[in-house]
Structure formats: C-alpha cells, structure tokens
Structure 1
C-alpha cells in the first residue's frame, strides 16, 4: 500500500462540498485506501460560517464519523474587503439547498481552524495534504500567522480560479477566488514544496459537466443515507439546473476524486500565476503567465482535462453506489516536462 495520505479539508460547505466530503469520508473509512482525514476546517463562502459549521456536522454525522473527525470553525469573512454576497441563488440561504432538515447543533472543536492548521502542519511536518474547496482565507491566515507554514505542507490542492478567463460569479472571476482574492494572493506568493494542484472553473464547467439525466437517473438512484442527503439538498437546484449549466456540475467533488485516482486526470498544465486584485471588471481573475515573461518558476499545476467516465464512477462510489473501484492512488503529483 502507498504511503498514507494525511488530509485536512477546508470547506465552505455548499452542495458540491457535501459530495466532496462524502467521497473523502468514504475513502477515510475504507481500510485498503491510504487516506486519513485529520480534520475539517470551516470557512465563509457559499453561505455564512454558522451554516457551514452546521452543514459539515450534518455530513459527518450521516457518514457515521462524528466521533472520529474533528471539525474546526475558521474565518467568517475575507482578509480585507467584507462582502455579504453569497451563492444563495445556487446553494440556498443555508448552503444546503434550504432542505427540510431537523435542527442540529454544530459539533465544533474549541481550537480555531487556523490554529489547528498550523498545529497539524508541524505535527505532520512535510506529510500533510490540504484540500481547499472554498475561499482561501483560512489558508492565508495560517501563512500570515506562521511564515514556515507553506514549507511544512506536503501538498495543497485547490478548487478555484480560472485558466481561460471564464468566470461564474463575474464575467472573469470564479467564486472561490473572487470571494477573497487577497487570500489567493497570499497563497500564490508563498513558497510551497511543490506547485499548487488546481481544479479551475473551466475544467469543471466543460470537462466535468454531466447530463442532468445522469444525475437524476444514475447517481440519484443510489440507495444510501449519503445519497438521500445529496438528493434532498440538490432537489431545488436540479429542478432548474438546465437554466444554469445546461447539465449538472459538481466542482468541489473533483478535487478528492483526482487525488484518489490518477485515472481521472488526463491533462495538466503548469503555469506561473497571479491573482488580479484591482481590476474593475477583472478582480478575482487568475492571471497566467503564458508567454513566460515574468521569469518566475511555475506555482500552479492546473488539471485541464479529465476522464468523465472515471469521475462518474468515483461519484457513484462515494455515495456507496458500488462496492468496488479500481483505485490507482496518486500520492505523487506528476509534473509535465
């Protein structure tokens, strides 16, 4: 078995975050997969932080891992400019589609998420994988708190940004990066052990888009508590999804999927990237040095093409739709020549 991957998931707990968490939690529970979740950190983003903490608690309870996976409350606002704009038009006012769930109390550790990130980075020096599927505020705060933080992390894997200037919250900006671009700046400027693995918006929108019928008639027919929750929280958006994406897209779930199986990734691009902070129309856009004029070393490895059938298998597996999957663990990111 490959070396165990030690994982912290940083999330803003919207609809696709839930599916990403279910995939990750199933891998954690499966003894023959070298994947252990050390904690889940909550951050503002798709919904207010209080909702994020409740949503993560709910997911972990459904996965029957409440006694095993610690949950940490993190940043409730961006580093500099506070914004009240959320993704409620897509994720609902509570982040989970305003589904009719009974009220629960969040099960949160006393330790702040940023303190937990710094502590775990040094407890597992050079061994920690961070999967960031929300705004990067918690990660940036950890860097600002401890300048050695980024060098203590084995790998950072992010869903966010764009490589062709296509946005979703703005014409040129993807939501996670737009929600706190100053934090993206801090993260991109930090000296990581290896380039950041990035799942950009265009890869999700183009490569990972599936027919709505696949979501309802295949994934939607899986029988499990996890699948029941996903069907409940996505019920409203599925009823109008053709007006949004002309299909079904689950962005955040692609991050643990490509980390768990190297069969999913078909193409990667290596770039030096910065984030636009000042543009009136382009704030939050990821800027790639395609002509390589900066002379800087590449800091991002972007997944640009995937095997959709392999991704579909992973999604069904994550909701316990199939018992077996041929995992090819990708514990070492392969950089293009």
Structure 2
C-alpha cells in the first residue's frame, strides 16, 4: 500500500520513527511534515537523531491561531493527497496536524489511520481533546496504546477497526535509551548529578497564556530543594518576556533539547514537573516520579500506579509533591515495545 503519514510536532516525530521503519519494510510511505513545530530544536534535530527519512513534503505552515493553522494544514494536505493518491492516511496523537490530516483524508474518502487513538482527558477546553475526539470519530483504523483507550472508544460507540497495539513510545524508548546514554553529555554540560535535580517543561496554553498560572509555577520552581532544568518552548520564552517573569537562580532556562539529551535528563531526574502528555508517559516508563501541572490527564494509568500526581498551578502542591518523590507499582501498561510491528502488520492485512 501507499501510506501517507502526517507529522508536525515533536511527539509525533518520536512516534513516527519506529512506525516508519516498520512500514517501509512492506509499504511505500510518503512522509508529510506540516511545519507545526519548525524551530530546529523541536523539529530537524529529531529527524537527524532518530533516523527518520527526510519528509517528502514540508508544508511550512508554521504558527497561528488554531483555526488558521488547522485550516491551512487541511488545504495543503488535501493537495498532497490529490497528488499522491494514497491508500491510507496515517496520523499521530492529538495536535492540529493530526486533525488536519484526518479531516483532509476523510473528506476525500481515503481511510484514516490514527496512532494513539482513544485517549481522553474529558476536558473539552483543551484543544488537544477536541482534536483527538474528532480524529477518532473519522478514523477507520484506531491503534490504541492501552486498554483504557479501547474502553473510552467503546463508551462512545466506536468499536470497528479498533486494535490494542501498545504504545509506540515504548518502542522508541527501548530503541534510543542506550544510544542516549552513550551519546548525550547533557548532565556534564549542565553540571548535574543523577537524581540531584528536577526537570521541568511547560507549554500548554492553560499555563503559558495565564500570567497568574505561569507565575505560580515559577514560584514553585524557586522553592524546590534542588536545581531545576527548564527546557523552554519558544512560545513559553515569549510569554515569560511578555509577562516580565524572571525565573529564580536555581532555575536554568535552556533551549529545547535534542531527544537524546532530553531522555538522559529525564532518566536522571529526581522528578519531572510537566504539563506535557508525552513526558508523563515517558516518566512512567523510565520510573521517574512525575508532577503534572494540570488538573486532568489523558494518561490515567500513570496516576493509578502512583508515578504521577495532578497539581495544577498551585505552588504549595507542586513543591510538596515534587519533594515527596512518589513512585509505586510498575507494569507493562503501555505495551512490550513491539507496537510498531503490530501496526504495520494490521495495515498489511487491511482491506479498505
């Protein structure tokens, strides 16, 4: 088959790497990069480090409001579909790139494949929740990372084409953790010792677009009992400057990190403080306590097993939970590291 894969953001590049490798063993893949993440540290470096083939199409959409960005992507992906005439369009996760790829395909009656289907935070105020729900409901093959995701879809009446495959992020971590330890010098470069620092990421609009919330999070960082490494998304840096917020001396604001450096810092952290969905899951897989700067999560398994806790933007809760450490039981909730193989095999047998 000819599979047109649409990616656009850092987490999608990570998920794409193992899936693309498996797909190309059997199928023809056309890779489309929407340009949603265009900063070098959030885009090109991931293709380089993860060995992802150069995109066949780079749409250069860039930033913009949700409507503008999604609309421009939809039109551009539709043109690529018309030119390439793929058998399937494959999308990942829950970004504007995901929804645009899915809608463009569905409107011209090309079957949609959704990797990481069935996740729910049950908070429609989050653009990601809207994207993932709409994508699931126009998809023909839905690859679920967990049993919870399968149950979420069933509760919405979606059962056809649903497959429990495990999470391709486990595949990516298994493939790349050893390489990260061999190649990354991040700990030495930043003067850090294992379990002697916190790692923080903040990029969700609910935190970055609210000066009170962002200020409260920075206050919490300043009160922590160890250094905080804070790789800042370009948009987060912009908002810090706009609000006149200055991180404390114990907080090192650094550029977005290459994947191997990020893995190394995550694996060695005392705890991670984040509003990222992917980082919550990576922390669980690597057995690192996670403090989530949100009031909900799509990765409920991490809460149930005690490795993650929701604290919102409350400084007292953030500090207390970060310094408590946490951790609990651990299981193969997210699969055995062979999700990409299952996905490629199911696609091989699929008859549109």
- TM-score category, normalised to shorter length: 0.3 to 0.5
Higher relative contact order at CA 8 Å, sep ≥6: structure 1 or structure 2?
A: 1
Which has a greater percent of helix?
A: 2
Q: Which has the larger radius of gyration?
A: 2
Give the alignment's TM-score, normalised by structure 2.
Answer: 0.43
